Structure 1
C-alpha cells in the first residue's frame, strides 16, 4: 500500500469537512501550523548550541532580585485553642 492517490485525497477531504465542518477544520489547520512553527524554532535553538542558553541563564539570574528571607516571629497571630478532654481516660 502506497500513499493515497489524487481521488483518495479528495474523498478524505470531503469526509473531514463533513465530520468537522469548515470552521473547525480551519482552526485545526491553524493550530497544526503554529505547532510546527514552534517545533522548528525550538529545534533551531537547540542546534545553535548550549552557549546561548548559558548566557541567557546568567543574564536572567543577574536580573532577578534575591528572594526575601523569612522573618521569625515569636508571637502567634492565628491559633486555635484546644481544650483537653474533661473526662480522664479509663484503661481496661
Structure 2
C-alpha cells in the first residue's frame, strides 16, 4: 500500500497563532471518524507563525473524498481561516521512500 502524505502549511499572524492552533485542532479532531481513508494525522507547531497539518491517506480516492478533485493543488480551507493567515495555505504531497 502506498500512503500519500499531505502537508498543509499555514503562515499565521503571530498575534493569532494560539487561536488558530485551537481552531485547527478542534476542526481536525473529528476527521478520522469522517474520513475512513485517513490513516493518521498530526498538527506540527513552529511558533510564532508556522503551523503544519500533516495527514496520511490510504489512497488517492480517499484523498479526493477529503480534498476534492483538485487535491494536488488546492488546500482545504476552513471557514474563517483566512483571517488568521499571513499568506494563502500551501499544500504538498509525498510518498515514503524505503530505506532498505
TM-score, normalised to structure 2, is 0.26
Structure with the larger RCO, 1 or 2 (CA within 8 Å, 6+ apart): 2
Rg larger in 1 or in 2?
Answer: 1
Q: Which structure has greater strand proportion?
A: 2
TM-score by length of 1: 0.28
